[in-house]
Each structure stands twice: as structure tokens, then as C-alpha cells.
Amino acid sequence: MLDDTLVATLTAQFFNGLTIGGIYALIALGYTMVYGIIELINFAHGELFMVGAFVSFSVLTGFGFAGPITDPVTLTWVLAVAFVLTMLLLGVLGISIERFAYRPLRNAPRLAPLITAIGVSFILQNLISAIYGGSSKPTPQVFPFAWRFEILGATIPWITVFIFVVTVILTVSLSQFIARSRMGRAMRSTAQDREAAQLMGVNINVTIALTFFIGSALAGAAGIVYGLNYGTINFTMGFSAGLIAFTAAVLGGIGNITGAVLGGFIIGFIQVIAAQLGYSRWTDAVVFSVLIIVLVFRPSGLLGQQVGERA
């Protein structure tokens, strides 16, 4: 027997899961793209999400917006500017990180860039903490939280839907870009065989830089929506979010765009279910246990391809 309050709770939690999952999916996309193209676990990627949240904070407060904007036209403009500016800045940051911390090590032993990634992660965290201070910051929630709709007895804020739509738009345009554009084809060929791609006239450096640009911009977008939805950000939130998002990417099959999004949403829902059952302090343990179990039975993730041994 399903009573009404239970249905309402479940509905509310479903939308919760969509929001969290969407944010993880956006971060996981960057992880999976970078891994796909240079086989680097970019531990600094989670920090880019955090930096994105702070940049959007500065952009919004810089233009003087502190509270909800109820005029739809202004809101659209403000959000568009915030998204474009933050994503551009983050993309440039991603490219610079690649240029200075990873590219010089492209021919080095594989663990070397992993360590610089950890170093970059320390740097970004502490730069942000030095600039904005160590305590949590309230972010301007320009998207009015009062805008809600009723469904199955639950009251859902529209921002949940907004975040989901943003995630879908970004993911679909990304996969179309990779599947159809010339640069997308360059990215796929570089991921498959860097040397051969270069021999066919692909500019490897530009292609890898572009991958970092897109991945970082997506992390920036995740940062904005996080700030809009939760209303408070701090400089430590990037690392753990990054780890969970990386888990999502692995769960879905690393290197696989659809897999990253699927993994993001699955983990979002796992967290929400764990919280609903009263185990919110255990969510991380639950997430990682699910990951371990899935990998034991499907060693390449849910949508990953089983690749044979390379010579």
C-alpha cells in the first residue's frame, strides 16, 4: 500500500536525485573526456567545479545581483551571461593547467602527471581559500526558489527542472559535437591512437587542449548550478565531489560519454536513496561499495567496452 505522503516523499526525492545526478554527470563528463584522450585521472578536475562555483559567485555579485530575480527576461539574460562567462573562464583555466602541468609530462612515466594533478588540486583549493576566505560563502540564488510546481503531492522547485534541462542540453550538444564535427572526429581519433592521428594531420596539442577546455567548462557549469541550487559553497567541496564524479565516470565505463551521464544519475539516486533510508552519513561508503561490486562483475563499467589485451 502506497499512501500519499510516501508517494510525495518519493517524488520529491526523485527530483532531488535528478539534481544531484545532473551535477555529478556534468563533472563526470570532464573526467571521462580527459581520461579518454590522455588516460590521465585528472584529480584537479573536481577543483574546477569548485572554482566554477566561486567564479559564478563573483560574476553574479559583481553585476550586483544578490537575491532572486523574478523578471523572466532579466533572469534569462543574467543566467546566460553567468554561464557563458564562467564556462569561458573555466575553459581557459583548464587549458592553462593542461599546458603547464600536464603537457610537459606527456612522455614521462604515467604516474608523474597524476602527482602534478594532485599538486594542482592543492594549489586551486588554497588559492580560492586565500582569495575568498576559508569559510562557506552564501551564493546569490538568482533563480527564484519560490517558483514551484505540484506533482503527486510533492512541491518541486522549478530550479530542479532547470538543472536537469541544462544537463541534458549540454550533454546532447557535447555528444553531437563529438560525433559530427571535424574537431570531434579529431578528438575521437586522438583518443584511439595519438600517433596515427597525428600522422593523418590532426593537431594533437590543439585537440587535447580543446578536450580540456570543454571538460573544464562543463565543470564550471556544474559549479554554477550547484551554487544556484544549494546557496552555499566552500573551497573544500571540489575534491570529494570530484571523487564521486570520477566514480560515476568509472561506473558508467570511463571514456564513454553516455556512461558518464548514466553513472552520474545512478550515483545521484543512490545517494538520495541512502539518505532517505536514514544512512546519509554512509552515502560515500555506499557509493564506493556499489562501485566495487559493479566493477567486480563488470570490470569495464556498465557501458564500457571490454578491450582485449594490447600487445
Partner 1 sequence: MTARAALPSSPGLRQRLDALGTRHRSLTIILGMALVTALLPLIATLPPFSGFNKQIVWIDNFASAGVFILLALGLNVVVGMAGLLDLGYAAFFAIGAYAYAYGSSTFTDLSVPFWIMLPIGAVVAAIFGILLGAPTLRLRGDYLAIVTLGFGEIVPVVFRNASQWTNGTQGIAGIRRPAIPGVDCGSGGPLCFGAGSPLPYYIVMAILITTVLIVLYRLQDSRLGRSWQAIREDELAAASNGINTVTTKLLAFALGASVAGFAGVFSASKFINVTPEQFGFNVSFTVLAMVVLGGIGNMWGVAIGAFIIYMINSVLLKQLNAFFDTFRVPILSDIDFVQYQYLLYGLLLVAMMLTRPEGLFPNRRRAAELHVTDEPPGADVEGPDPSGPLGRGGT
Q: Which residues bind partner 1 (CB under 8 A)?
A: 35, 39, 41, 43, 101, 104-116, 118-123, 125-127, 130, 194-195, 198, 204, 239, 243, 246-247, 250, 254, 281-282, 284-285, 287-289, 291-292, 295-296, 299-301, 307-310
The rounded distance, in Å, linking the Cα atoms of 121 and 113 is 12
Judged by beta carbon, residue 90 or residue 197, the one nearer partner 1 is 197
Judged by beta carbon, residue 24 or residue 162, the one nearer partner 1 is 24
The rounded distance, in Å, linking the Cα atoms of 245 and 139 is 22
Least separation, in Å, of the C-beta of 291 and partner 1? 5
Which ranges of the chain would DSSP assign to H, the alpha helix?
Answer: 4-38, 45-62, 72-97, 111-132, 158-180, 182-192, 194-199, 204-230, 237-252, 257-276, 283-297
The rounded distance, in Å, linking the Cα atoms of 13 and 275 is 9
CB 121 within 8 A of CB 237: no
Q: In what helix (H) or strand (E) does residue 232 lie, and over which residues does it extend?
A: strand 232-233
In degrees, to the nearest 5, what angle opens at C-alpha 10 toward C-alphas 9 and 15?
A: 100
Judged by beta carbon, residue 227 or residue 253, the one nearer partner 1 is 253
Which set of grid coordinates corresponds to residue 164?
A: 536537469
Least separation, in Å, of the C-beta of 60 and partner 1? 26
Least separation, in Å, of the C-beta of 193 and partner 1? 9
Burial status of residue 178 (CB atoms within 10 A of its CB: 0-12, 13-18, 19 or more): buried
Least separation, in Å, of the C-beta of 37 and partner 1? 13
Judged by beta carbon, residue 38 or residue 53, the one nearer partner 1 is 38
Least separation, in Å, of the C-beta of 109 and partner 1? 4
Between the CA of residue 97 and those of 35, 82, 282, what are the distances in Å? 15, 22, 34
The rounded distance, in Å, linking the Cα atoms of 220 and 36 is 20
Closest CA to 81 of 96, 97, 69, 95: 69
Judged by beta carbon, residue 92 or residue 294, the one nearer partner 1 is 294
Judged by beta carbon, residue 13 or residue 300, the one nearer partner 1 is 300
Which set of grid coordinates corresponds to residue 241?
A: 565531489
Judged by beta carbon, residue 8 or residue 127, the one nearer partner 1 is 127
Task: Output DSSP code: residue 311.
Answer: -
Going 117 to 94 to 184 to 18, the CA torsion angle's sign is positive
For 30, half-sphere exposure in the C-beta direction (CA atoms, 13 angstrom radius) is 38
Least separation, in Å, of the C-beta of 131 and partner 1? 11
Least separation, in Å, of the C-beta of 177 and partner 1? 24
Judged by beta carbon, residue 39 or residue 150, the one nearer partner 1 is 39
Judged by beta carbon, residue 191 or residue 272, the one nearer partner 1 is 191
Least separation, in Å, of the C-beta of 108 and partner 1? 3
Least separation, in Å, of the C-beta of 248 and partner 1? 11
